[in-house]
């Protein structure tokens, strides 16, 4: 029994329709899986956003503490600089005039004390 042209076309269209429906069903199943994975990813992103907010607050608190520490270090450096300037300008420079006189006397006294100590240890 030969098929007529209409029957052959109807059979071809039926096969094409079945293939299209199977393809759409598979596509919808894949879309459903993708939507489920997307929901899981979205929930994870929400958790990460919460953690990021907490971390941001912690970092801000640490930065504020670091700012206070840097301010204290800056004040200490300024005070140390002023103290060293005071020592060099008021004590060391004026006394440097007397160093050529004081150093030989100090060396003589040091050697004398050293010899005296050695002589006590030897006796």
In the block, tokens 């039926």 appear at 14
- In this predicted structure, the answer to whether residue 89 has a pLDDT above a threshold of 90 is no
Q: How many CB atoms lie within 10 A of CB 110?
A: 10
Q: What is the mean pLDDT of residues 55-77?
A: 93
- What is the reported pLDDT for 122? 63
Domain count, the chain: 1
- What is the reported pLDDT for 123? 60
pLDDT of 6-29, one tens digit each? 999 999 999 999 999 999 999 999
Q: How far apart are the first and last CA of the chain?
A: 142
Residues spanned by the domain of 105: 5-122
Helices marked H in the chain — which ranges?
5-86, 93-95, 99-122
Quick one: what percent of the chain has pLDDT higher than 70?
98
């Amino acid at each position: 029994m030969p098929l007529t042209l209409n029957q052959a076309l109807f059979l071809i269209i039926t096969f094409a329709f079945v293939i299209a429906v199977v393809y759409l069903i598979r596509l919808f199943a894949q879309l459903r899986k993708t939507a489920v994975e997307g929901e899981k990813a979205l929930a994870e992103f929400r958790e990460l956003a919460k953690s990021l907010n907490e971390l941001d607050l912690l970092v801000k608190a640490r930065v504020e503490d670091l700012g206070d520490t840097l301010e204290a270090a800056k004040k200490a450096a300024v005070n140390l600089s002023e103290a060293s300037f005071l020592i060099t300008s008021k004590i060391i420079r004026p006394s440097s005039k007397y160093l050529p006189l004081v150093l030989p006397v100090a060396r003589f006294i040091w050697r004398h004390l050293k010899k005296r100590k050695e002589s006590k240890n030897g006796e």
